[in-house]
Amino acid sequence: MEPCTSNGPLTISTVQSNGGEDGTIFTNYAYIYNLGEQEVEKGTDVEFSNNEILSGDITHTAGQAEIAIGKAGVYYIEYYAYADIATQFGLYLDGNLISVSTVYSQSNLTSPIMGTAIVRIPNPGNLTLRLIDVGVGIVANLIDAKPLTSAIDSVTASIVIMKIAD
């Protein structure tokens, strides 16, 4: 494979995805995130304030928790959350845990939770990132850990979704 140069676009001739022909790339993907702090109660879903990129059959309304997955298939999903207390998060589809493989915990308050999974979503539905448990009490705060001198908000939670197969 030749390196990408400024003389022309990069083409990928050996990738197949979503049942496409050679050269097609992922057409169903999203990057959704939350800026600023958010209080999340145990058993409730994280709300995402912003949509960076939405493509294909994945939709989301800014400020809501639900991410609509419009087609069944195999999805690569990666999430991030930075909370002020020991927490456990997982991915839910229509209110049901997708798989225990999507559940991640953290007890080190200086590190965010980062979860990664490849899961089969059997039918269209609403995907959410849920706070399953907290170390103490019933509330976790997604915190903006920006330096005190910064005026720019930081991402406190995010999710990347890519449909990788039918």
- Give 52-72 pLDDT, tens digit per residue: 999 999 999 999 999 999 999
- The predicted pLDDT at position 156 comes to 95
What average pLDDT does the segment 91-106 reach?
A: 96
Q: What is the pTM of this model?
A: 0.84
| Closest listed residue to residue 83, CA positions, set 117, 123, 122, 132 | 132
Instruction: Give burial (CB, 10 Å; 0-12/13-18/19+) of 133.
Output: middle
- pLDDT band for position 23 (cuts 50, 70, 90): low
- The predicted pLDDT at position 115 comes to 97
Rounded CA-CA distance 99/96 in Å is: 9
CATH C-level class of 29-165: mainly beta
What average pLDDT does the segment 24-43 reach?
A: 92
Q: Which residue has the higher pLDDT, 113 or 2?
A: 113
